[in-house]
Amino acid sequence: MDKLQILHADMDAFFSAVEQRENPELQGKAVIVGGVNLSNRGVVSTASYEARKFGVHSAMPIAQAKKLCPDGIYLPARHGLYKAASKEVFSILKRYTPLVEKLSIDEAFLDVRGCERLYGNPVEIAEKIKIEVKKKTDLTISVGVSVNKFLAKLASDFDKPDGLTVIRKKDIKSFMRHLDIDKIWGVGDVFAAKLAEKNIYKAGDIWPYSLEELKNNYGKAGVKLFFLSRGIDNRDVKSRSEIKSVSHEETFADNISDQDKLFAYLFKMSEKVSFRLHSNSLKGTTVFIKVRYSDFNTYSRQQSLKVAINSSEEIYQRAKELLMQNDLLTKPLRLLGLGVSNLCQEGQEQLNLFTDENEDQLDQTIDQLKRKYGFDKISRARKLYLNNDD
């Protein structure tokens, strides 16, 4: 990709903005939307920009937010209301191009190649989307325009709220040079600390290192860092209709027999699969696992469910059951993988009266933070076992 063609559209403080739209008395005030019951053990889903001035942000514990912003207006999440608003926004996006990749309830990538004759160049399309969203939903949206997905995502976050930022090919080097290293996808706190040991704090600090050096030092993460630090990203925009299943697997450098360590890896994979399912508003009724031993013998098992799932905890528990019930951990593993198939769109699945709304809310909040700061920025305690390895 060498010309402007990718847009990243991201609603501004979506949940709190919808609440302010529904109740004009909330406009201009610090509005914090939290979990289903707003208990002090809950977490912030979205904070209005007025609340962010006090230091309140997504995924912050409600108790901490109340200390920073005691006079804020704390509201329980109303997901039905937000889904209805999201539907309005996505109906607008899909009128400009069929290639809309939904990342979450409030953001998406768009590939606008071939749409110029109908709607103008990519920047003009972005301007039209912003105007139409405001006119039809009374909400604001920030749009980034660039040559690939990674840069478009950076651009949309550059001038929030209600921003429109364009990163052209000729501007990539100057834009990336001073970008904080933790703004690059996949660079969480642990990885950033390792890079800081080599005085790497900005994307430009990576440039003197060769691809081979970064690969030897940091593995796959180093390879990704080499390309993303230079603004190189060859991923295509994919609409949800193309997704048949979501899976993740890892081949270990050394065979692993330690069950606790394997379960930690299993949960890490469950988080990745759950993240992708949530990002595309999907659930699935089949969980499958795959193992490969040192002799390269490979086995797969699956379980069909009555109720579709997408939470990391449920996926993990089902996958763990498959491993244990089929005695698949009797020998060291070379490879471990899991996935979810038989997918359906959220809201179209059979309802489960016993769904844990708090668990679902926690998943959504963690996803939101990962999407903003990188996948490894936050996780459950179960993965701490791997900190010394990843």
User: Cα–Cα–Cα angle for 218, 224, 225, nearest 5°?
Assistant: 70
180 is in an annotated binding site: no
Candidates 43, 41, 64; CA nearest to 54 is: 64
Q: Report the alpha-carbon distance of residue 232 to residue 6 in Å, rounded.
A: 13
The two most distant CA atoms of the chain are separated, in Å, by 67
295 is in an annotated binding site: no
Q: Report the alpha-carbon distance of residue 92 to residue 139 in Å, rounded.
A: 13
Burial of 204 (C-beta count, 10 Å sphere; 0-12/13-18/19+): middle
- Catalytic choice (107, 271, 313, 314): 107
Q: Is the distance from CB of 346 to CB of 297 less than 8 angstroms?
A: no
Residue 336 gets the label, from left (phi > 0), alpha (psi -120 to 50) or beta, of: beta
Is 107 marked active-site?
yes
Q: Is the distance from CB of 144 to CB of 157 less than 8 angstroms?
A: yes
Kindly compute the dihedral angle of the four CA atoms of residues 114, 115, 116, 120, in this order, to the nearest 10 degrees.
-170
**Catalytic sites, residue numbers:** 107
Q: Which residues are annotated as a binding site for Mg(2+)?
A: 10, 106
Q: Which residues are annotated as a binding site?
A: 10, 106
